[in-house]
Amino acid sequence: MSGVPQSSVLDLVFFNMLINDLDKGIECSLGKFTDHTKLGESVNLLKGRKALQRDLDRLNRWTKGNCMRFNKAKCRVLHFGHNNPMQCYSLGEESWLNKSQQCAQVAKKANGILVCVRNSVASRSREVIVPLYLALVRHHLKHCAEFWGPHYRKDIELLECVQRRAMSLVRRLENKSYEGTGIF
């Protein structure tokens, strides 16, 4: 034992796995950190400015493909130099999802994570699957329910389907209701 709680180590490992492909196709310098991302480039020419905007567009597409988002209120552009043209950059366009679309995206992301767990973990014991579910899946569902508050029965059933799928991964819980366990 290292003295570090194992869930902390696993959280970092899974976080790194999640953002591992963030820099795929990025031309500029990209720094990945636990709570922020830095994209930078010396953009003396129009070519450099266009490359930086292309990379911002790639990052925006990555966030959409992974059901994540950047906090645009915290995004900053730093301009250096005396003759800097002060290029304007954008990180995606403003788009609002309705509650049903958000629930569908969250369920898709959570189901994808469950598939990865199913395919990569041999054990089906409660001691193995439940911590993985809690660390990797539950916060997606909880976020959706707390901030979007699904009102339609079809949205609630979509999120509950993910929980039932997680239950089916655990030996001896596969045919029971998730509601009585207090975990899922």
Of 32-41, 115-124, 169-178, the one with minimum mean pLDDT is: 169-178
Predicted confidence (pLDDT) per residue in 77-94, tens digit: 777 777 777 777 888 775
Question: Torsion-angle region of residue 141: left (phi > 0), alpha (psi -120 to 50) or beta?
Answer: alpha
Entry pTM: 0.46
Predicted confidence (pLDDT) per residue in 70-81, tens digit: 777 677 777 777
pLDDT score recorded for residue 115: 93
Residue 147 has pLDDT above 60, yes or no: no
Name the band, by pLDDT with cuts 50, 70 and 90, for residue 24. confident
pLDDT score recorded for residue 21: 78
Q: Which residues, at least 6 apart from 139, have a Cβ–Cβ distance to it below 8 Å?
A: none
Q: Please compute the mean of the pLDDT values over residues 22-33 and round it to a whole number.
A: 85
Residue 112 has pLDDT above 90, yes or no: yes
CA distance 174 to 184: 12
Which of the residue ranges 21-25, 41-45, 112-116, 156-160 has the most confident prediction, judged by mean pLDDT?
112-116
Contact indicator for 114, 162 with CB cutoff of 8 Å: yes
Domain locations along the chain = 6-74, 99-180
Instruction: Determine whether 54 is exposed, middle or buried from the number of CB atoms within 10 Å of its CB (0-12, 13-18, 19+).
Output: middle
pLDDT score recorded for residue 114: 94
pLDDT score recorded for residue 1: 43
